Amino acid sequence: MTLLHDHFEKRQESILSFIRDLVEMETPSREEVRLNEMAGLVAERFRAIGGQVEQLPEPGYGTHLVANFASAENRDQSHILVLGHLDTVWPVGTLKRLPFRVTPEGTAHGPGIFDMKSGVTLTIEALSAIRSLGLGTKRPVRVLFTCDEEIGSRTSRPLVEREARGAAAALVIEPPITGGIVKTGRKGIGVFTIRAIGRAAHAGLDPSKGINAIVELAHQTLRLAALNDIEKGTTVSVGIFTGGTALNVVPAEAAAKVDVRFWTEADGERVVSAIRGLKPVLEGSDLEVTGGINRPPMQRSEKNLALFNHARSVAAEIGFELKEQAVGGGSDGNFTSAMGIATLDGLGVDGAGAHADNEHIRIADITRRATLLTRLLQTV
C-alpha cells in the first residue's frame, strides 16, 4: 500500500501535467475530429502498457475506445469494467476564458478537468502502475471510454452493454460528490418532447377559427407538473417551452421538452405511461408525444453496496474514510447497474463544479484516489 502511495506521490507532477494535456485538448461532444484525436492519444498510452486496444469510430461523434488487460493467470476470470468518457460539455474556445491553472490553495482548474479528464488520467496511471511495479490483478481489466456520454450516450449504450456483459463489477470514474463521496445509486432519466397542434388564424379578424396550441400545451404543462412526487423523488420538469410564429397569429404549434427523474423502475413506468396517455383539452387540437426513458435507474442495490463496502475497507487501509450517496444525475453506470452488475460510481479525483465555470480538482486527492483505483483493480 505504501509502495503504491509513494509511487503516485512521486508521480504527482507528471500526472497533473498529463491531466493538463487532456484539458487543453478541448473535446466537447460531437467534435468528431477532436474526440478522435483524444481517443488516439489515450489508445497510444494503453498500448504502451500492454493493453489490447480497439478504436471504434462513430461518424459525427468521435471514437469510442476499448482496452483489455489480461494475463495468463487471470484470463479465465470474469472481468472488471472501468467506465468513463472522453467528451465534455464545454464548447471549443472555453479554454481562452477558463485556462488551465493551479491555485496556491492546491486546486487545478480547467474545462472538463473534474468531469472527467482527471478520471481518464487516473485509469491510465493505475494500469500503468500495475505494470511497472509488477503487480497482478485478480481479474482481467477492460476499460471502455465513450465519446458521447454527455449527450445521453446515444451511440454508445449498446457498446456499454456489450462490454459490460459478464463483468464481475463496473468501476465508473465519473467525478465524486464534493468531499470524495462515491455514488451507489443514481436516478433513472426520461426525456420527452410534447407537441401541441392547433390551427392558425388571424388573432384580430378570425380568432374563433383558430385553436391556440400554446393554450393547449399550457394545460398539458400543468398536468405534467401534477405528476411530480417529491416524497418518492420522482420529478417531471418542463425545461423548454416554445410556440407561436407571430403576435397576430393564433399559434398552430407549440412544443415542450420534459426531463423526468425517478428512483425505481416502477416509478418511471408510472410517469411514462401517464405522459404517453396525455389527451388534448381543447376541442380540435392534437398532441404528439415522443421520447422515453434514456437511462434506467441505478438502484442502490445489495450488490452495489457490497462493492462499496469493499472499496471502503480498501480506503481505510490507505488511510481515509470513503463515503457513499445516491444522486439524481445519471451516468453510464445506470446501464451496468440495471444489468445486475455491481457498480460503483464517482471514483474520479475529488473536486467541484462539474459543468460550471469553477470546475476544479483537489491536487492532494490524486495520490489516494489513484491508490484506491489501483487496489480496486487488483482486488475486486
Q: Would you count residue 125 as binding Zn ion (CB under 5 A)? A: no
Question: Quick one: which segment of 124-132, 153-161, 171-179, 359-367 binds Zn ion (CB under 5 A)?
Answer: 171-179
Question: Quick one: which segment of 111-119, 234-242, 288-296, 370-378 binds Zn ion (CB under 5 A)?
Answer: 111-119
Question: Quick one: which segment of 38-46, 168-176, 246-254, 364-372 binds Zn ion (CB under 5 A)?
Answer: 168-176
In the bound state with Zn ion, the residue whose beta carbon lies nearer, of 115 and 253, is 115
78 secondary structure, DSSP code: P
The closest residue (CB) to Zn ion is: 115
Rounded to the nearest whole angstrom, what is the least distance from the CB of residue 119 to Zn ion in the complex? 8
Supply 51's cell numbers.
493493453
Task: Tell me the HSE value of 111 on the side-chain side, using a 13 A CA sphere.
Answer: 18
Query: What is the Cα–Cα distance from 380 to 376, expressed in whole angstroms?
Result: 5
Rounded to the nearest whole angstrom, what is the least distance from the CB of residue 328 to Zn ion in the complex? 14
Question: Quick one: which segment of 109-117, 204-212, 299-307, 362-370 binds Zn ion (CB under 5 A)?
Answer: 109-117
In the bound state with Zn ion, the residue whose beta carbon lies nearer, of 163 and 345, is 345
CA distances from 186 to 19, 148, 326, 352 (A): 27, 19, 6, 18
* Number of amino acids touching Zn ion (CB under 5 A): 3
Question: Quick one: which segment of 22-30, 170-178, 223-231, 371-379 binds Zn ion (CB under 5 A)?
Answer: 170-178
Three-class DSSP category at 222:
helix
Three-class DSSP category at 318:
helix
Cβ(69)–Cβ(128) under 8 Å?
A: no
Query: What is the Cα–Cα distance from 8 to 13, expressed in whole angstroms?
Result: 9
Q: Would you count residue 115 as binding Zn ion (CB under 5 A)? A: yes
Rounded to the nearest whole angstrom, what is the least distance from the CB of residue 182 to Zn ion in the complex? 14
In the bound state with Zn ion, the residue whose beta carbon lies nearer, of 22 and 200, is 22
CA distances from 252 to 136, 210, 274, 289 (A): 65, 8, 24, 16
Q: Which of 123, 131, 280, 155 is nearest to 215 (CA)?
A: 280
Rounded to the nearest whole angstrom, what is the least distance from the CB of residue 80 to Zn ion in the complex? 19
Rounded to the nearest whole angstrom, what is the least distance from the CB of residue 194 to Zn ion in the complex? 28
Q: Would you count residue 359 as binding Zn ion (CB under 5 A)? A: no
Rounded to the nearest whole angstrom, what is the least distance from the CB of residue 116 to Zn ion in the complex? 5
Q: Would you count residue 174 as binding Zn ion (CB under 5 A)? A: yes
In the bound state with Zn ion, the residue whose beta carbon lies nearer, of 196 and 373, is 373
Supply 48's cell numbers.
504502451
Rounded to the nearest whole angstrom, what is the least distance from the CB of residue 142 to Zn ion in the complex? 19
Supply 230's cell numbers.
417529491
DSSP string covering 32-50, please? HHHHHHHHHHHHHHHHHTT
Return residues touching Zn ion (CB under 5 A): 115-116, 174
